[in-house]
Structure formats: structure tokens, C-alpha cells
Structure 1
Amino acid sequence: MQRVLLLSFSTLVSDPRVRRHALALADSYYVVTAGYGEAPGYGNEHIQIPRPTPTCYFKKFLKAVFLLLRVYSPVYWLDDDKRAALKLLKSLEAFDLVIANDAPSLPVAFFSAGTSVPVVADMHEFAPGEQLPGWKWNLFWKGYPQYLCRRFLPRANHVLTVCDSIAELYRQEFLVTLPGVLMNCPSYLEAVPKEVGEKIRLIHHGAGCPSRKLELMAEAALLLDERFEFDFMLVESDSAYCSWLKETYEGQRIRFREPVPMPLISEVLNRDYDIGVFLLEPEAISYKYALPNKLFEFMQARLAVVVSPNHEMARLVRSTSVGVVSEDFSSASLARAINALDEATIMSMKRASAVAAQRYCAETVYSDFKRLADAFTR
């Protein structure tokens, strides 16, 4: 059986995109995963990459000097997790295909693959546009992801990303041909839209990090009619920020609940909620063109959807009739969009989600990914 390496410098047990890669290839390939943490419960074999240790002052100084001089290769290899990953992978039997997830995996992937093994670069978001602008970023780090992309993407046998807009950005800046698009669609859920109850229940789930400004959705929740209840289900990537949100906003109208395992998200949302909500200010390029997992999980849960007017989210919501788009990125605009919904409209959107769920599911979308792997391993 041909061997495929799925490489990602992430915690694989909570990385939905790598999980879907593995499930799509499971029946035809021997899948080796490499990432942080113990075996994630998918794939045939797992290589646990040691998590990066705190950087000593001397290494920080060296990195700062190299970054200022725009000498980027040493910056990468000063990371002990990158060196450890390369050493671990070099000791393994050769692979027939390497799939590198995100820009930080590119150098290790290509050095592990050598000259004869094809490499697919799944870039997920737009790597040079994932950080919010700031003086430290502009002075030190801005050129680093650009270096990784410019140095390695032209060597990839194929490049993937999450949406059309980001694919076009990669083509304009780094590539001759347009990358492929692989949307973040979860597995299909056999479910029906739940009837709206006495209270209309709204949910936002995802990472609890300050850059997403979740307080804007909380402020919108305070402006809603008494018909609505708003829940947050957050993975606490920043515990201090999440604690502040709870202390500031938790009350009769807003609740915070514990996150559920990733494969169960759509099932729980289908059972407990009516509307999925996401407002995301487009301060970073990746936020401007966001097309996140949660949007497709809302569809699988057969929810109505309310989102801010980020380009890709708005286009998908409008084209599928699963929800509405706020006029702008303010809390007041989001609240107006929600308050305008009546029960009949919500149920119509839920039924539209049931239709969209058949198209935007992993079983449909990732069949193309399987065919891509087959093409490089014939």
C-alpha cells in the first residue's frame, strides 16, 4: 500500500482539516500523520513532533538579527520542533506523497521528500495575511511567510487553499497557475431542521482569541429582542480573554457553554440551536476572505446563518439562501439583521441549509482531494 505523509505543525487531535485529509485517504493509502500531541485517532501511524520549547534569550536575539537582515532560512531552523521533525521523518521509510499543511511545514516537507516524491502544499489560509498589522510584525516578521511561500510554493506539485479569493492571491503573488480550492466542509450529518421553539437560540462556536473581537457579537446579543438567547461555545486559546468575556457578558441573555468534541459539533448544534452567528472584522487579509469550518458546520446542523459581510462568507450565504448578511461589521448592524428575522424566515433558511448540507460536506468536497492524491501516486 502506498504511503502518504500528512505533516502539520499543529495539534492534530483538534485540527479538522488534517483529519479530513486522513479520512479521505484512509481506504486506499497507508497514512502517516506528523504533528503535535499523541496519535489523533486517525491514520495508520503517527509521528509525534515535540512541541516547541520556550526560546532562550540568545536564540531570540539571533532570530531578531536574522529577521532584521531579511535572512530567513536560519530563523526557521532555529526552531527546535522543525529540526526534530526533520530528524524523525528522515528516519522513516520513504513516502509516495507528502501533504504539507500551512507555510511552517513547507521546508520540512520538501527536505523530507527529497527530489523524487511529490509534495502537495495545502496552505489553508493566505500565509502572509494571517497576522494583524502592527509595528513588530512590520519590522520583523512581515517578510518571513512571504519568504516561505516564494521559496517553496513554486516547487510544489500542487497547491491548495480554502477559497477562490485566497487562491487568486497566491496566484498573483507566488504562482503561475491558480491553486486548487478545498473548502473546510465537515462530514455529512443525517439530520432535519428542528422547529423553532418559544425562544430562538443562537450560537457562536470557535476559538476564543482577542483578534476575533468576540465582544462585538456579545454587544449585538444585548441589543436583541427578548425572543432570542445567545450562547458562546469557545475553545479557550486565550484563557484571560475568555475569562474577561464571561465576567463582562454572561447573564440572562448570554451564556457560555463548554466546547464539545469536534466531530460532534454539528449534531449538538442541530439539537440545541436555531441560528449560527459569526461576525469577524476584516483587519487581516485572512479575515477579509474567511470561509471557516463553522459556516459549513452551521449548514450540517441545519441552522439559519447570520454573518458579517466578509467577501467569501457573504457570497456563500447569499448563493445558498441559508441566512442573511449584516450591512457592516458593527454590533448594531448584526443585531438589526437578527431582529428582522421571524419564525417563518428562520425555518426557510434552515430548510435551505438542509439542501446546502448535501453539497458542502466532506464526502462531496474531499472526493476531489482523493483523486488528486491518486493522480500523484499512479
Structure 2
Amino acid sequence: MKKVIISVTNDLVTDNRVHKVALSLQKMGFKVTLVGRKLPNSKKLDRRSYKTKRLKLFFKKGPLFYLEYNVRLLFFILQRKVDIILANDLDSLPANFIASKRKKRPLVYDSHELFTQVPELINRRRTQAIWERIESWILPQLEHAYTVCESIATFYNKKYSTSFQVIRNLPHREELLMVPPEKVLLADDRKIILYQGALNIGRGLEFAIKAMQYIDNARLLIAGDGDITKALMHLVADLELADRVTFLGKIPLSEMKYITAQANLGLSIEEDLGLNYRYALPNKLFDYIQHQVPVLVSNLPEMSKIVNRYQVGMILKSHDPEQMAHQLHEALFDMHLREHWIENLPQAAEELCWEKEEKILIDIFTPLKKSQGNKKESQQTS
């Protein structure tokens, strides 16, 4: 059985994309090992059908973390039998690239975002320049790569003449959930506005919280964790919105679907802070759609394209809290609009699912699987 090592720098608990990829490769007949890291507050992983390894690191963030992670990951891969190596995002790519050269094994690269254009790097030119140097060193040498949307694929193709295929971060197809009574979120009849995902700068969360000052009969639930969690909690306290805004923390994948299914509106309201957010096509958008929840999204090209095509929600006109509140109210309480969206959501959910998208992944890995098999056969007969 051919072996694939997949690596990513997060703790694996909520990374649905690498989980789906691992399951698809396992279905193809690969023996999969998924490598991440373990933090002091990392939750226990759900039982999975493939192997997982979370590295315990001394450094938790910053340059020394990335250096330590890549050194540890490099030795991990070099010490194991592997047929194909799959790197997720630029921060895991150096170790995977060096290991692929040393072991003479094919490397596949999954770019979840425009890493060098994330808001956290835009105003840190020295750090950004280091990552750009790493990117310009490795990306032109890649033969097998894919990313989450057409805009990012086009960007990399123009910049490095590297061909990226597109595998969107779509969820598995699910029937409408029957939510068990013990998982029901609210005991009252207020509408649920949901944000799920990382709590980082540029996600529009500060504006959504401020908008809750102007909305009655609704509650904003925030599921996730990140760099600005504490700042957001302080903002809620300062505005005295504890009865309207609830932080759910980081939710395991197996539980998150029950929360999503109860929402009346899903938010994906990233700000236009550089190319990474401008080209964003977040998995939460597709999770909302899969659970047939109407959406409110930023007026950015990839997200607005989905909403306009499938007519499943509203496009945000402004991040101004009062104007946002007006749109939130309309999206929650205008029954004519909601009936139109709810009528369209089943077809969108049927089309925007991993079962259809994974065919591209299979097309990438099938030739690699065959070529590795042929190499082993030739080595055995020589």
C-alpha cells in the first residue's frame, strides 16, 4: 500500500480541508499519515481512520516556531517510508520540499491561501520578504500543485509560471440534519447569526459585534479561536452585548455541523486587506450552504460570484455597523428574500460538495500512485 505523509502547522482539530483530503486519499488506497502540532490548549482529536501525529514544540509562534516545526517535520519524514509527500501552505513547504529531494519522492502542494499576502504580514515587510523568498525559491520548481480558487491559481501562474489546479474547500454532501434536543443552542425564539472559523484580523468580526447594538430578536454566535479572541471579548464587554454575542470557542468537526444547522444566517464578511482576503473563498461559506443556511458575504470577487450564481444570500454593501445591521435585519426577517434563498439552497448544496470536487484530487494523485508503483517494480526486477 502506497504511503502519503500530509503535513500542516495547525493542531488538526478544526482543519476540515486536510481531513477531507486524507479521507479521499485513503479511499484511493493510500496509507495516510497526517502531521500537525499540539498546543497546550489543543483538544483531543476525534478518532480517525488514518494515522495522525501532532508534534509537541517548544516554541509556539514567531520565526523560531516555524524553524523548529520545519526541522522536526523534516526529520519525521526522512525517518519514515513514504511514496508521496503533501504539503499544506507555505509554512510547511520548506521541510516537505527538502524531504522530497532527499528521498526522491514526488511533492504535492496545497495552497490554502495567498500566504505572503495575509494581513498579518502586509505591514511587516521584513518577515513578508523572507516568506516571499522561500516562495520564489520553491514554487517555480513544483510539478504538482493546487489551490482553493481560480484567482489564486491565476496569481501563482502569472508570478511563477507554475500551474495550479483548483480544488475548492467544499464540504461532504449531507442531508438536512435533525438536531438532537441536547444540542439545541437557544431556548428562546431569537434568530441565530453564525460566524465560524478563525478569529483573526480582517474577518469583519469587530463590525459584526458592533452591528448587534442595532438588532433586536437576534443573537450572534462566534465559533472559533484566534489571535484577536480576547480583543473581541473585551469589545463585547465594553459594549455590554453579552446577551447578544456568545463565544463558543473552538468546536470539533463532528460537533460543528449541529451548530451550523441551527443558524438562520451565516457570515463570511472578510475585509479587503490585501490580495489574500480579496481572493478569499472560505470553507465556512460552503458549510453554510451545505446545511442550507442563507449567507451574508463581503463584496469580494470569489465569494460574490458564488452568491450571485446560486442566489443563496446577500452581498454586504458596507462594513459600517449601522448599515451592516440594516442588512442583517433584512436577511433575517424579509420573508420574501428568505423564501427565494431557501428555495435555491438545496440545488447549491447538491452541486457544491466534496464528492464532486475530490475528482480533481483523484486526477492529480492517480498518475503519481502509478508512477511510484512502476518505480518499485523496476527496482525489484533490476
* 1:7-46 residue CA offsets vs partner (Å, 9 max, x unmatched): 2122123222111110111121101222213876435333
Residue matched to 2:10:
10
Residue 176 (structure 1) shift: 4.2
Aligned with 1:180 (options 142, 165, 168): 165
Aligned with 2:198 (options 202, 207, 210): 207
Equivalent-residue separation in structure 1 for 2:128 and 2:287 (angstroms): 32
Contact 1:280–1:329 (Cα < 8 Å) also in 2: no
Is 1:311 matched up with 2:298?
no
Is 1:53 matched up with 2:59?
yes
Contact 1:246–1:256 (Cα < 8 Å) also in 2: no
Alignment of 1:82-93 (within 5 A): 82-93=70-81
Alignment-mate amino acid for residue 367 of structure 1: K
TM-score where L is the length of structure 1: 0.84
Residue matched to 2:355:
363
Contact 2:206–2:232 (Cα < 8 Å) also in 1: no
Residue matched to 2:247:
256
Aligned with 2:265 (options 271, 275, 281): 275
Is 1:118 matched up with 2:106?
yes
Aligned with 1:156 (options 142, 164, 171): 142
Contact 1:149–1:174 (Cα < 8 Å) also in 2: no
In structure 1, list runs of 5 or more residues that go unmatched. Answer: 64-74
Residue 296 (structure 1) shift: 0.6
Alignment of 1:297-308 (within 5 A): 297-308=287-298
Residue 99 (structure 1) shift: 0.8
Equivalent-residue separation in structure 2 for 1:128 and 1:159 (angstroms): 17
Contact 1:189–1:267 (Cα < 8 Å) also in 2: no
Instruction: State, as a whole percentage, how many aligned pairs show the same letter.
Output: 22
What SS is found at the alignment partner of 2:292?
coil
Residue 213 (structure 1) shift: 4.3
What SS is found at the alignment partner of 1:358?
helix
Alignment of 1:207-226 (within 5 A): 207-224=198-215, 226=216
Residue 129 (structure 1) shift: 0.5
Residue matched to 1:322:
312
In structure 2, list runs of 5 or more residues that go unmatched. Answer: 39-43, 180-187, 371-382
Deviates more, 1:363-372 or 1:182-191: 363-372
Residue 329 (structure 1) shift: 3.2
Is 1:147 matched up with 2:153?
no
Is 1:109 matched up with 2:96?
yes
Alignment of 1:183-198 (within 5 A): 183-191=168-176
TM-score where L is the length of structure 2: 0.83
Distance 1:303 1:39, change over 3 A: closer
Deviates more, 1:273-282 or 1:207-216: 207-216
Alignment-mate amino acid for residue 94 of structure 2: P
* 1:297-342 residue CA offsets vs partner (Å, 9 max, x unmatched): 1011211111121221111111111101022333233223233341
Is 1:375 matched up with 2:362?
no
* 1:98-121 residue CA offsets vs partner (Å, 9 max, x unmatched): 111111222211221226321111
Residue matched to 2:32:
31
Residue 282 (structure 1) shift: 1.0
* 1:119-164 residue CA offsets vs partner (Å, 9 max, x unmatched): 11111101221134665x11x1121221122111122221111111
Aligned length: 352
Equivalent-residue separation in structure 2 for 1:54 and 1:254 (angstroms): 29
Q: How large is the Cα RMSD of the aligned pairs?
A: 2.7
Distance 1:260 1:45, change over 3 A: closer
Contact 1:307–1:326 (Cα < 8 Å) also in 2: yes
Alignment-mate amino acid for residue 353 of structure 1: L
* 1:252-292 residue CA offsets vs partner (Å, 9 max, x unmatched): 4433345532233233221x221112222111321111111
Contact 2:200–2:226 (Cα < 8 Å) also in 1: yes
Contact 1:308–1:334 (Cα < 8 Å) also in 2: no
Equivalent-residue separation in structure 2 for 1:326 and 1:222 (angstroms): 18
Equivalent-residue separation in structure 1 for 2:230 and 2:309 (angstroms): 38
Alignment-mate amino acid for residue 311 of structure 1: P
Alignment-mate amino acid for residue 274 of structure 2: A
Residue matched to 1:291:
281
* 1:321-370 residue CA offsets vs partner (Å, 9 max, x unmatched): 11010223332332232333412321321232221111112222123212
Is 1:166 matched up with 2:152?
yes
Residue matched to 1:129:
117
